[in-house]
């Protein structure tokens, strides 16, 4: 499943190519609780078709009612972008389904220019990180390459946002746990690659939408070229496959590097890396293991939930308390068997 941003922009591009008038709504500011983050986008066609989301649904209904022929209005207007705000009063917050105290501000672009859309979608599909800037006085859009991801910026005159590339996940080992974790990653907008040089494992792989890699995992990591939107997770339980791949990933900008395994196996792995590969406790600080947050998981599906939750927390910049890690929770249970 591809990034929702790419889906929204591609669909908007296709609508404009077919001659439809359309609207692009972007969340530019929130106060209090908000159903969708800053930067969330929704595209709306003149006949009421929509893709993407800026709220829980009520604001989308209001935009459709205001700006499309679906509700016998004048349709999407021409002219420069407009700013609209929802949820200023308690009554509005209740009307539009916003959480208590929530306020949402949107930038509406009416019938965005075709050429910048074509350029942007083409670069995003090629895996490029792009910056899109719009002049709110006239709707003029500029597209350029970006050197690193950045949050949406809005100063009242210009809105600038970086888009792409998609978040990527490289999994080492093609077992059942990998299949469950791949499924969850796909639904969360990651592109997923699975590496396993063991032919018998890859021949049994059935999940579609995943790139299959049969070379040695350390070579696969080098070819994968992890960046700030990449994670690498070793799931094979085989040091011959996991260790060198993890070492390559640790020396990359990947936002998450980890491995499955017991606490004893994790300690042995760290000892091997220090003894044989000149790593240190400091250089191994980024290596997560055993991966996942503690939820008492037993089955491959439950373990995949645990791992995916930790990956998403790290991706979203959430600090995870030490006592919810798998290793710490199990250690606490050994000291106090009555802890559930």
Cβ count near 184 (within 10 Å): 19
CB-based burial label for 70 (10 Å; 0-12, 13-18, 19+): middle
What average pLDDT does the structure give for the chain? Answer: 88
Q: Could you tell me the two tokens for 130?
A: 């792009």
- Residue 178 sits in the same domain as residue 319: yes
Percent of the chain with pLDDT over 70: 88
CB atoms within 10 A of CB 314: 16
Convert the pLDDT of each residue in 106-117 to its tens digit. 999 999 999 999
**Kind plus residue range of the DSSP H or E element containing 246:** helix 239-250
> How far is 332 from 338, CA to CA, in rounded Å?
10
Asked, for residue 276, whether it belongs to a domain, the answer is yes
**Least confident piece of the model among 25-29, 34-38, 110-114:** 34-38
94 pLDDT higher than 70: no
- Choice between 256 and 325, residue whose per-residue pLDDT is larger: 256
Instruction: Evaluate whether 293 touches 313 at the Cβ level (below 8 Å).
Output: yes
Whether 185 and 124 map to the same domain: the answer is no
Which of 163, 180, 202 terminates a domain? The answer is 163
Assess whether 180 and 300 both reside in one domain: yes
Answer whether residue 279 is part of any domain. Answer: yes
Q: What is the pLDDT at residue 334?
A: 62
Q: Whose CA is closest to 4, among 190, 145, 255? A: 190
Copy the structure tokens of residue 253. 């900008």
Q: Smallest Cα–Cα separation from 156: which of 107, 197, 194?
A: 107
Do both 228 and 314 map to the same domain? yes
**Which tens digits make up the pLDDT trace of 204-255?**
888 999 999 999 999 999 999 998 889 999 999 888 899 999 999 999 999 9
Mean pLDDT of 322-333: 68
Distances (CA, A) of 12 to 8, 141, 189: 6, 15, 19
Full-prediction pTM beyond 0.85? no
What is the pLDDT at residue 333? Answer: 62
Which pLDDT score is estimated for 4? 83
Q: Provide the token pair at 202.
A: 């890859």
**What pLDDT was estimated at residue 123?**
92
Cβ-based neighbour number of residue 257 at 10 Å: 27
Q: What is the pLDDT of residue 330?
A: 65
With 0-12 / 13-18 / 19 or more C-beta atoms within 10 angstroms meaning exposed / middle / buried, residue 313 is: middle
pLDDT grade for 302, boundaries at 50, 70 and 90: very high
Joined together, the tokens standing for residue 90 give 């308690």
Which of 147, 163, 179 represents a domain boundary (last residue)?
A: 163
**Residue 337: predicted pLDDT:** 61
* Boundary residue ending a domain (138, 163, 188): 163
What pLDDT sits at residue 316?
A: 87
Q: Which letter, b or e, does each residue of 145-178 get, where b requires 16 or more Cβ atoms within 10 Å of its Cβ?
A: ebeeeeebebeeeebbbbbbbbbbbbbbbbbebb
pLDDT of residue 112: 93
Q: Is residue 45 part of a domain?
A: yes
d(CA 67, CA 106): 14
- How many structural domains are present in the chain? 2
Domain residue limits at 304:
168-335
Q: What pLDDT, in 10s, does the model give residues 271-288?
A: 999 999 888 999 899 999
Give the pLDDT of residue 33. Answer: 65
């Amino acid at each position: 499943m591809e990034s929702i941003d790419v889906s929204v922009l591609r669909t908007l591009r296709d609508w404009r190519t077919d001659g439809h008038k359309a609207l692009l709504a972007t969340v530019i500011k929130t106060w209090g609780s908000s159903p969708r983050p800053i930067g969330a986008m929704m595209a709306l066609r003149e006949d009421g078709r929509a893709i993407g989301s800026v709220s829980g649904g009520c604001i989308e209904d209001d935009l459709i009612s205001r700006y499309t022929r679906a509700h016998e209005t004048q349709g999407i207007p021409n002219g420069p972008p407009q700013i609209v705000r929802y949820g200023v009063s308690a009554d509005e917050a209740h009307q539009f389904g916003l959480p208590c105290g929530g306020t949402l501000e949107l930038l509406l672009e009416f019938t965005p220019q075709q050429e910048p859309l074509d350029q942007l979608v083409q670069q995003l599909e090629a895996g490029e990180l792009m910056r899109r800037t719009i002049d709110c006085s006239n709707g003029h859009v500029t597209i350029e390459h970006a050197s690193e991801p950045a949050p949406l910026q809005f100063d009242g005159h210009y809105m600038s946002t970086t888009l792409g590339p998609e978040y990527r996940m490289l999994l080492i080992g093609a077992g059942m746990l990998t299949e469950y974790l791949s499924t969850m990653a796909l639904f969360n907008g990651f592109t997923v690659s699975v590496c396993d040089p063991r032919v018998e494992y890859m021949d049994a792989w059935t999940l579609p939408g995943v790139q299959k890699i049969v070379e040695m995992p350390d070579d696969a990591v080098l070819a994968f070229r992890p960046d700030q939107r990449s994670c690498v997770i070793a799931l094979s339980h085989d040091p011959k496959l996991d260790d060198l791949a993890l070492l390559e990933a640790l020396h990359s900008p990947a936002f998450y590097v980890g491995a499955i395994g017991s606490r004893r196996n994790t300690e042995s792995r760290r000892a091997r890396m220090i003894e044989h590969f000149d790593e240190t406790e400091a250089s191994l600080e980024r290596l997560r293991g055993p991966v996942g947050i503690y939820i008492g998981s037993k089955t491959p599906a439950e373990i995949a939930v645990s791992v995916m939750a930790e990956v998403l927390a790290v991706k979203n910049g959430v600090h995870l308390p030490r006592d919810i890690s798998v290793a710490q929770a199990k250690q606490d249970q050994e000291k106090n068997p009555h802890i559930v």
